[in-house]
Amino acid sequence: MTVGLFIPCYVDQFYPNAGIATLQLLEKLGVNVVYPENQTCCGQPMANSGYEHLTGKCDELFVDNFSSFDYIVAPSGSCTLHVKEHLHAHQYPEKAKHIRSHIYELVEFLTDVLKVDKLPARFPHKVGVHQSCHGQRGLKLSQMTELVEPFFSKPLQLLNMVEGIELVPLDRTDECCGFGGTFCVAEEAVSVKMGKDRVADHIRHGAEYITGADMSCLMHMEGILRREKSNVKVLHIAEILNAG
């Protein structure tokens, strides 16, 4: 099995440790990982802003970089969902179709493809888990509380394998943080208020760290934490699963 590692542009620029932890974790689990160096943005910001017709070159480059791999894995639920639902290449429709059906967010790849049942990780801290909207409602990484269905959470399934970790309960387990990509620019005041509410829930329950599968959500909450001079830190879930 050979995996193409897709690192979203904001992770590459602002949170490279999340990308490095993803690579190291996959290699620890015996996966042959290749990082295509010519990769760039998947085009999600333009598409979310109503300019999907301008993402053609992004799609073509993505196909050039990733069509030859058995799987594509990314430490980002939102970027993964965008590619899974919106990647098209008029010249190479079959290659694009292959990518759409073989791209996985890191957590779902570990649980659904590798079927990981143990991890050599240790993280002795109190951790609050943020279930991002794209991951939860798009990729179905965890059950939505508004549904009368059996509970499941793939991030929690993996985090419970980490030695020493204490997962703190939250009052509202799947509330949006307010980031929403370009939403936080267009609706700044609403976005900030939602983020403050989300952060307060974690702080109220004693979290030392907030983690999740989308660094974009964590980035939004990190900005609020810094402005409030809080000691609570954010870490991508890959960094915790790779710790120790």
Which neighbouring-strand residues pair with 73?
A: 5, 104
Alpha-carbon distances of 123 from 113, 116, 126, 181, rounded to whole Å: 24, 18, 9, 30
Overall average pLDDT of the 72-78 stretch: 96
> What local confidence, expressed as pLDDT, does residue 208 receive?
98
> What local confidence, expressed as pLDDT, does residue 64 receive?
96
CATH 3.40.50, the chain: domain bounds: 126-241
One-letter amino acid identity for 87? Answer: L
User: Is the pLDDT score of 182 beyond 90?
Assistant: no
User: pTM for this one?
Assistant: 0.94
> What local confidence, expressed as pLDDT, does residue 156 receive?
97
Distance CA 210, CA 221 (A): 9
User: What is the helix (H) or strand (E) element at residue 13, kind and residue range?
Assistant: helix 9-14
Overall average pLDDT of the 165-186 stretch: 88
3-state secondary structure of 94: helix
What does the pLDDT look like over 201-223, one tens digit per residue? 999 999 999 999 999 999 999 99
User: Is the pLDDT score of 57 beyond 90?
Assistant: no
User: Is the pLDDT score of 169 beyond 90?
Assistant: yes
CA 121 to chain centre: 19
User: Is the pLDDT score of 179 beyond 80?
Assistant: yes
Instruction: State the average pLDDT for the chain.
Output: 94
Pick the CATH number of 126-241 from 3.40.640, 3.30.1360, 3.40.50, 1.25.40: 3.40.50
How many residues in the chain?
244
What does the pLDDT look like over 23-36, one tens digit per residue? 999 999 999 999 99
Which neighbouring-strand residues pair with 212?
A: 130, 236
